[in-house]
Amino acid sequence: MTRSDPEPAEVRPRRRSTAVRPSDDTLLDGVLSVFAARGFDDVTMDDLAAAAETSKPTLYAHFGSKDQLFDACARREAARLLEWMRESYRRAQGFALDRHIATTTRALFDFAATHAEGFHVLFGAPTAGRAHAVRTATIQSVTDTVAELIRHEYGAGGLEWGASADYCAAAIVDIGVRGVQQALVQRLDVTAAADLTVSMIVAAMRHLDPAAVRAVDVAPSAPRVVVRGDTSDSVVAEDRVVEPGPRNEVLENAIRTFQRGERVELHAVAAELGISRTTIYRRFGTREELLGLTLARQFEQVIAAIDSRCTSRGAHRISEVFDRALRRLSADPALRTYLRNESPAALRLVTQADGPVHRGSVALVENLIRRAQERDGYVPPVDRSTLAYALVRLGESFLYSNAVTDIDGDIDHLLRVQTTLLGVAGPVGGS
């Protein structure tokens, strides 16, 4: 019996092995170039399946429909762009606003140069209508961060930025995105185009008229109608701006977002509560300030919960509460993710001496010490405020290094140091 020669490899259609189920990312990698080049309306599921080297049933099984497949592709590219931009923010930490603007603007051009297909899916003309929602949310996230930078770093002339920071940030991001689009369409040198864009933005910010900034901030905002149901602060009515509910409502929303492991964004909190970002800013400040209050509130809740179940007395109670709180916080995935992803900004936020996190933590521990003194006759080895400060700094160092290095530290050794500071005879605590 004779065997025919196998079909040459070059004329056989490429097929993925049926033994290995392709991942979502593998399939999205395959369809990305088609969406980037031809948009949404001019491609079929057959085209997309061929590009991904798979079958239509596989695409349907993974994503449901062409609409859902495109949305998944756009959302993934948006997440990549935001992470790329956040990394640029981390690199620029500690520098003046000019350096921030230069770094983040160039990062946008660099992303487009190295992830051209992803940029085209988000911002290209063929996908303009289909990617509108994802693109708008992405631009808003970048805009919010730039607005925070302006409020923090551009206070020359005694300016207190309100809505004007959001306005300027929106203009900066729009110039950056449109600059990249023009560079790609006209096939310009991307580096030269980035340099020109940076020079325009920096020159504009340096020569802002303070009076114009103040005029934007004091001008009455346009009336709007918000329908949210009942609020405790005001009655919903036509042609009236609805103020947010109680302060706790904003904080609790931010806490829920943080505990899900998501990035706390002013625009997202505002949208969910049906209020404006400017209103949140006026009540809480920048994203960093809201995040600081959010972390402080969470730490307070952890301490209160542990303290309510503790039966020890005196310094032993302080030791036990502090130890159990550190163990719980060090194992908290949301806190670890935040400290790791937003370092070194997270370190500054958590440890800043006059910030809400450090100040609130010291107050909590000092209250534990005071109560042990008053109720149990505890005599601290140093004054109460100094002891509380030392314990909190010890805990901050452990939590930060534990999360950022992703190596579990020796918390039992930390406990021995902590009990020595308290003057306790032996370690007390444990999970």
pLDDT (tens digit, 9 = 90+) per residue, 363-397? 888 889 988 998 889 998 888 889 988 888 888 88
- Tell me which residues of the chain have a pLDDT lower than 70: 1-20, 94, 153-159, 219-247, 282, 401-411, 425-431
Q: Which of 312, 315, 318, 325 is closest to 425 using CA atoms?
A: 315
Both tokens assigned to 395: 């805990």
Quick one: 24-218 is in which CATH superfamily?
Answer: Tetracycline Repressor, domain 2 (1.10.357.10)
Both tokens assigned to 42: 């001019």
Q: Over the stretch 18-37, which tens digit does the pLDDT of each residue have? A: 445 788 889 999 999 999 99
Indicate the CATH number of 289-422 among 1.10.357, 3.40.210, 1.10.8, 1.10.10. 1.10.357
Sign of CA dihedral 368, 299, 354, 210: negative
- Alpha carbons within 13 angstroms on the beta-carbon side of residue 118 total 21
Q: Which of 172, 162, 160, 171 is closest to 103 using CA atoms?
A: 172
Q: Over the stretch 151-181, which tens digit does the pLDDT of each residue have? A: 776 654 466 777 888 889 899 999 999 999 9
- Please state, rounded to an integer, the average pLDDT across all residues of the chain: 79
CA-to-CA distance for 118 and 25, rounded, in angstroms? 13
What is the reported pTM? 0.55
**What H or E segment, with its residue span, contains residue 334?**
helix 333-341
Classify burial at 192, counting beta carbons within 10 Å of its beta carbon; exposed 0-12, middle 13-18, buried 19 or more: exposed
Angle at 330 between CA 324 and CA 335, to 5 degrees: 125
